[in-house]
Chains A and B, each alone.
Chain A
Amino acid sequence: MARDPKYDVLFEQVQIGPKTLKNRFYQVPHCIGAGSEKPGMQAYHRGIKAEGGWAALCTEYCSIHPESDDTSRLSARIWDEGDVRNLAAMCDRLHEFGALAGIELWYGGPHAPCMETRHNPRGPSQIASDYELNIFPRYMDADDIATVHQMYVDAAVRAREAGFDIVYVYGAHAYLPFQFLSPYYNRRTDEYGGSFENRARFWREALYKVREAVGDDCAIASRFAVDHLMGPVSIEAQKDGARFVEYADDLVDLWDFTVGDIAEWGQNAGPSRFFEENHEKPYSGTIKPGNHTNKPVVGVGRVTNPDTMVAIVRSGQFDLIGAARPSISDPFLPKKIEEGRFDDIRECIGCNQCISRWEIGGPPLVCTQNATAGEEYRRGWHPEKFHPAANREKSVLVVGAGPAGMECAMVLGKRQMEAVHLVEAEREIGGCVNWISLLGHSDGRPNLHRGTARGLGEWKRIVNYRQIQLDKLRNVEIHTGSRLSAEDVRNYGAEIVIVATGCHYATDGLNAATHAPIPGADTSLDWQMTPDEVALGSKEVGRRVLVLENEGYFMGASIAQKLAGEGREVTLVTQAKEIAGYMEYTLEAPMLHRDLHRLHVDMHVYTMIERIEPGVCHAYNVWDPEHKHEFEVDSVVLCTARLSNQELYREVKADKGRLDQEGIEAVYVIGDASAPRMIVDSIFDGHRLAREIDSPHPEMPLPFIRERRLWGEASNEDYLRQLANTADVALV
């Protein structure tokens, strides 16, 4: 189908300095866990997006020198010829698809702990990082400033050699250039501190020198947090923010605007539970309309709706539609808009699982919606291309249409298996997502900072996307409202049976902290309940509620938020050092804590429940079990262990004779039914099995390419040979 003329504006060319962007889709710099150490992943992850129509793709932040070392987190680096060689692989790949390659030159100052290099970062003033623990920068004198400027120049020259078209001086997220600009970091009294012009000097000089060095060949970009969101103590969009843009406008070919800093960069990469699409508009979206720049501007805001994109361009908010997360979730977003395939767009749900892995310290990125993210090279998976399965004549029954089952059936369908039946016990497909997506709300009032607890409604996109895709697949039938027994499964007539029956919450308080049930815990009682019972409203909750949060992710905190938002007195207890620890990694924690605090949720960390009695929970401090505490409550919610619903799998598998008799050749178990896990991993599990359904032992994942240094002689041919052996060769 031809493109709707309404979207033509998104496909106009844009000139940035000496380079031309073929359209307005721009992947801003974002981490993936590849850096310069995994050149294959770097080249193929970005390359798939280039194939999908993006006009430019950038590296993640790229260190310009060993004294800007972010270990344990993983950045790219352009320190030497080896890095040039590895990053050139990405540039070459992008150029094959007519896309431009961008590099984000980064010097972190005190936010770079240098745990690998053991250098000492320099900074404008000797104030410890508000992000790292106990990292102090060395005060930069005039010589230091010249030295660091030369680091930018040397890195830019190497970047040009690698083939980059766009060279950034990265000053967002409170890294070094911003530290000079912001009085919050910069307490200097020399010509680099004090007045606006003095604070802006370091950045201007860096831009000037980089431009002098490579500006004839490369577009010069700068990423700038136009508002630190800290008020008058730092940069505000309508004051020094707009002023700096005007001040440095002559030195850039492209502005990349963000908000906030690194310590709470969830204000920029806003999770959907607090921020909606295009949420940065009140800050970064005001600069261009305010006539503060004559240069093209790119900005972000997890924009997945083509109409929002058109509105952004038409209103002059941005010239380019910047995307990190939407490009991970759907590398083919531009192509799908161009071809009018709107219902094929796999929209980002804003869960920030992608970011969590970088926060953890650099494992490959993951994506809830796009199981192929990060697997493009090492497993050879392509998000839009699927090889017909070698055993496609086998009929498949998938039992359970939760995240794992939906994904598995969808990929089996796309691999052209001739007959796939996805059978679900409930009325609707979606499994746990159907009730989880009801969570995340409190009372709907504005939070203490920006955004509100708007909830996990967008997570429902997990179901929506798969429902639409499954409906299109003529070889996949979905049957709902049908709970299959083991005998039903045996008689179903499938040659391959895949069990994806999910999991349930422990009813007796079994938990990871004590490895035992909690005496007195029993959710068959009307005043004790599991999280799903709260979400679905199937039990009456009393005025005073204790929520026991042993899981460490969103569940306990979300239940507490909901119940407190409804006006109850909520006590939230965890054995861990913090509530919902994983939400630190997904950047949801700061806003969550603001909401819990605002709602007067009474939180107790390092605390575990040892006994539950009617009206009272007996607790103790995990470091001092003799330190007891009693909580008087009316209801108790147990977010304790989850247990696989694996009876069906066990029962079907047990009778080998019957399996033979009924012609069932294989029985697999995936997702939570195999072992409880996060949704992102359930979807991966379902996808993985379907991608490898024709491998010799589908239950065992095939090996993937490990990008590591091979001792002695090694060449790219080693890797390419391995790639050719994977189940699904996308791009060889």
Chain B
Amino acid sequence: MSDGGVLILAEARQGELREVSLELVSAAREVAAGVGGRVAVAVIDQQAERFANAVGADGVSEVLTVTSPTEHFEAHVWQRALEGLIERERPAIVLAGHTIDSLGFVPAVAARLGLGFAADVTAVWWAQGPRARRGAYGDKLHAELDFPGKSCTLLTVRPGIFAAAPAGSGAAAARAVEIDLDGTARTEHVEFRDVAIGDVDITKAEFLLSIGRGIEDKDNIPRFEHLAERFGATLSVSRPLVDAGWMPNARQVGQSGKTVKPRVYLALGISGAVQHLAGMRSADTIIAVNTDPEAPIFGVAHFGAVADLFEVADELERALG
């Protein structure tokens, strides 16, 4: 039933290709040899061809464009389009980003077509068939999955795990795939809106810049607030700063504060008392800067620098322009 090969579903929003699309190209490389056949990237958009060059990165054999009748993403249109692509192209593996847009239609495609399926996977490989890894029990464990009896497997891949492939420059051939999508939309776009950032909820933040006793003085807090802003991070703190009354309890990470699970946790001047580690050890990536090479934070960090945090903070400001 399958013609083999990997089909990647690119993603765009408001006329911009989203980075995850090129990460999926890198992910596809992990399985392309095993599965055999071509690596195709599909773009669904009102003007799908405008992204054809960019997604045709190194290793992509073909770019497929599907013209959407709607200006913006519409879950039911995209669902029909992907169903049509899979029915026509018969790939063995379909990769999509584990993104908000995907959440609205990808599982429905898997359900309707009876595909192999796993969401939010962090690794893919081939071992006589597709294999994938994903978190279990809130990421405290990893589950290794296979997809017996499925000729096509649809995976949504966690963004940020694979490095984005460099964008292509038109080397891959583009082909328009005609799928009748008229009348498939079931929701009506009203508008896009920026959300006002209300009270800080550090448990929901994806990037935390966390400071501790190492900042020495209350007067130093504003410069780290500024750095966090420049970096697009949310500022959090370890307990000594709350104990000292310098920061509100709502910003505190740790056993007596909040348990956080951001994608990146950048700890500046935090030694890593056990009570603190309990609140952040399941962050995806932990980077620690501390002057004390024996600081316990280095025991859980993925990246560590023994350095003066003020010097590093200054350089970070500079690097961020």
Contact = CB atoms under 8 A, between A and B. Distances in A.
Contacts of B287: none
A137 to B, nearest CB: 43
8 contacts: A276-B240, A305-B273, A428-B249, A444-B217, A454-B244, A457-B244, A467-B256, A468-B256
A455 B245 contact: yes
A529 B244 CA distance: 25
B218 interface: yes
B236 to A, nearest CB: 16
Interface in A603-645: none
B314 interface: no
Contact of B245 (A276, A342, A428, A457): A457
Given A307-B271, A444-B218, A454-B244, A461 B278 contact: no
B169 interface: no
B2 interface: no
Given A6-B296, A444-B218, A467-B256, A342 B274 contact: yes
Contacts of A468: 255-256
B243 A460 contact: yes
Contacts of B271: 307
B167 interface: no
Contacts of A428: 249
Interface string A236-260: 0000000000000000000000000
B102 to A, nearest CB: 34
A458 B243 contact: yes
Interface in A413-466: 428, 434, 437-438, 440-441, 444, 454-458, 460-461, 464-465
B255 A342 contact: yes
Given A342-B255, A342-B275, A444-B218, A307 B244 contact: no
Q: Name which of A305, A440, A464 has the most chain B CB atoms within 10 A of its CB.
A: A464
A499 B315 CA distance: 55
Instruction: Classify chain A's interface size.
Output: 20 to 34
Contact of A307 (B219, B242, B257, B273): B273
Contacts of A465: 256
A458 B219 CA distance: 20
A461 B256 contact: yes
B256 to A, nearest CB: 4
Contacts of B273: 305-307
A340 to B, nearest CB: 9
Given A307-B273, A467-B256, A468-B256, A456 B278 contact: no
B40 to A, nearest CB: 50
Contacts of A272: 243
B98 to A, nearest CB: 30
A343 interface: yes
Nearest to B256: A464
Given A276-B244, A428-B249, A457-B246, 14 more contacts: A6-B296, A307-B274, A307-B296, A342-B255, A342-B274, A342-B275, A342-B278, A434-B249, A444-B219, A455-B244, A457-B242, A460-B243, A467-B256, A468-B256
Contacts of B249: 428, 434, 460
A438 B273 CA distance: 23
User: When A and B form their complex, which 8 residue pairs have the shortest distance between CB atoms, in order from nearest?
Assistant: A464-B256, A457-B245, A455-B245, A457-B243, A343-B255, A458-B243, A342-B274, A307-B273
A6 B273 CA distance: 12
Using C-beta atoms within 8 Å of the partner chain, give the interface range for chain B: 10 to 19
Given A6-B296, A468-B255, A437 B245 contact: yes
Nearest to B242: A457
Interface in B235-279: 240, 242-246, 249, 255-257, 271, 273-275, 278
A454 B256 contact: no
A67 to B, nearest CB: 44
Contacts of A437: 245
B245 A454 contact: yes
Contacts of B244: 276, 454-455, 457
A457 B256 CA distance: 13
Interface in A1-54: 4, 6
Contacts of B217: 444
A468 B255 CA distance: 8
Nearest to B239: A464
A458 B274 CA distance: 18
A457 B218 CA distance: 13
Contacts of A464: 256-257
Interface string B278-301: 100000000000000000100000
Contacts of B240: 276
Nearest to A349: B243
Contacts of A440: 245
Given A343-B255, A441-B245, A455-B244, A306 B218 contact: no
A441 B219 CA distance: 14
Nearest to A314: B294
B195 to A, nearest CB: 21
A468 B246 CA distance: 22
A430 to B, nearest CB: 9
B246 to A, nearest CB: 8
A712 B278 CA distance: 59
Contacts of B296: 6, 307
Nearest to A273: B245
Contacts of B245: 437-438, 440-441, 454-457
A468 B274 CA distance: 15
* Best-surrounded residue of B217, B242, B244, B245 (most CB of chain A within 10 A): B245
Contacts of B242: 457, 460
B218 A343 contact: no
Nearest to A440: B245
B73 to A, nearest CB: 36
Nearest to A467: B256
Nearest to A430: B249
A434 B245 CA distance: 11
Contacts of B274: 4, 306-307, 342
B247 to A, nearest CB: 9
Interface string B66-89: 000000000000000000000000
Contacts of A438: 245
